[in-house]
């Protein structure tokens, strides 16, 4: 698999105005059409390595962004909003002089992607939004309180096993110990400030009422076992004109990892309409 080139650029200002550099992992030719990739909370760009290489093979320049407080990016002092995370993506584009790009976001990256499509649609060519909801009803928002408290007291390592098992299931982790260990390490290494800020942004998620304002081509992707997200994303599809949906059989919250062949096929179907070669 082709290795990524790693760099850093300035993201949007944090609440305190402190430095906020975003780490980038890039595959493909510098002059190729750009695809930006955003990951889930408690992960990093490591989860996009296969898809980054695949997109480069298809003639794109894939740029995976470490969300603020995750991977190699800075962790500004919280609070963060979902609009802040979308603004980081715009700041990356501005820093790299990218006028318009395709966007792939999964979970947290999909949530901020809805905001990006609503408020910055003129910067986008298309979107693939995966395993993400666009609102935070009270029961969904409430589950983050205990996770925030645990991370604040013990660090993100205390969240690692439970999070990975929610994403993949114990059976997958036992069958794929190398993948499991890599994700457990990545979750545990996430900064406390980054996790808390992003979790609080999730609790404030409120884009559902505006998703119909997204006008670029959209494909929604969701794992069939990622309940209740298939139903939530079918509802979102009905609100975005022309949106398509791909439900990945026997997949959980990160279908690009536990069902990569099916996920990649869905990705290629989306990008076939934009193939640069």
Q: Is the pLDDT of residue 13 over 90?
A: no
Average pLDDT over the chain reads 96
The confidence score (pLDDT) of residue 18 equals 65
pLDDT, tens digit, 9 for 90 and up, residues 229-252 = 999 999 999 999 999 999 999 999
| Mean pLDDT to the nearest integer, 77-101 | 96
Please report whether residue 40 resides in a domain.
yes
State the pairing for strand pair 124-130/61-65. Answer: unpaired
Domain carrying residue 88:
5-135+207-274
What length is written for the chain? 277
Q: Is the pLDDT of residue 2 over 90?
A: no
Question: Which has the higher per-residue pLDDT, 17 or 70?
Answer: 70
Quickly count: other Cβ atoms within 10 Å of residue 51's Cβ: 22
| Mean pLDDT to the nearest integer, 137-160 | 98
Confidence of residue 276 (pLDDT cuts 50, 70, 90): confident
The confidence score (pLDDT) of residue 16 equals 60
Confidence of residue 138 (pLDDT cuts 50, 70, 90): very high
Q: Is the pLDDT of residue 199 over 70?
A: yes
Judge contact between 73 and 22, C-beta under 8 A: yes
CATH of the domain at 65: 3.40.50.1820
Please report whether residue 243 resides in a domain.
yes
pLDDT, tens digit, 9 for 90 and up, residues 100-128 = 999 999 999 999 999 999 999 999 999 99
State the pairing for strand pair 5-10/21-27. Answer: antiparallel
Please report whether residue 113 resides in a domain.
yes
Is the pTM higher than 0.95?
A: yes
Please report whether residue 222 resides in a domain.
yes
CA distances from 175 to 157, 237, 253 (A): 22, 34, 17
Of the chain, the percentage scoring pLDDT greater than 90 comes to 92
Please report whether residue 190 resides in a domain.
no
Q: Is the pLDDT of residue 173 over 70?
A: yes
- Residue 90, phi-psi category: left (phi > 0), alpha (psi -120 to 50), beta (remainder): alpha
Count structural domains, the chain: 1
Please report whether residue 101 resides in a domain.
yes
Confidence of residue 275 (pLDDT cuts 50, 70, 90): confident
Q: Is the pLDDT of residue 260 over 90?
A: yes
Q: Which candidate, 69, 71, 89, places its Cα nearest to that of 79?
A: 69
Please report whether residue 146 resides in a domain.
no
Separation CA 197–CA 62 (nearest Å): 26
Question: Which has the higher per-residue pLDDT, 18 or 81?
Answer: 81
Q: Which candidate, 132, 114, 161, 146, places its Cα nearest to that of 41?
A: 132
Please report whether residue 174 resides in a domain.
no
Place of tokens 């992003």: 198
- Tell me which DSSP letter residue 208 carries: G
The confidence score (pLDDT) of residue 17 equals 64
Confidence of residue 89 (pLDDT cuts 50, 70, 90): very high
């Amino acid at each position: 698999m082709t290795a990524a080139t790693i760099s850093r650029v300035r993201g949007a200002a944090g609440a305190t105005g402190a430095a906020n550099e975003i780490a980038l992992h890039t595959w493909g030719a510098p002059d190729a059409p750009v695809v930006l990739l955003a990951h889930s909370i408690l992960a990093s760009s490591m989860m996009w390595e296969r898809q980054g290489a695949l997109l480069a093979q298809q003639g794109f320049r894939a740029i995976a962004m470490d969300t603020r407080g995750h991977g190699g990016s800075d962790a500004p002092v919280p609070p963060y909003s979902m609009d802040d995370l979308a603004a980081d993506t715009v700041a990356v584009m501005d820093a790299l002089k990218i006028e318009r790009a395709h966007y792939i976001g999964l979970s947290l990256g999909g949530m901020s992607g809805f905001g990006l499509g609503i408020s910055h649609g003129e910067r986008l060519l298309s979107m693939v939004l995966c395993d993400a909801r666009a609102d935070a009803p009270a029961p969904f928002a409430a589950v983050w309180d205990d996770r925030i408290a645990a991370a604040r007291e013990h660090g993100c390592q205390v969240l690692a096993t439970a999070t990975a098992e929610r994403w993949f299931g114990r059976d997958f982790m036992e069958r794929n110990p190398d993948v499991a260990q890599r994700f457990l390490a990545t979750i545990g290494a996430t900064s406390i400030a980054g996790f808390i800020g992003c979790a609080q942004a999730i609790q404030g998620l409120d884009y559902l009422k505006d998703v119909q304002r997204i006008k670029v081509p959209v494909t929604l992707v969701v794992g069939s076992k990622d309940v209740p997200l298939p139903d939530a994303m079918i509802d979102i599809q009905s609100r975005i004109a022309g949106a398509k949906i791909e439900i990945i059989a026997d997949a959980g919250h990160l279908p690009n990892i536990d069902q990569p062949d099916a996920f990649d096929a869905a990705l290629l179907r989306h990008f076939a309409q934009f193939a640069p070669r």
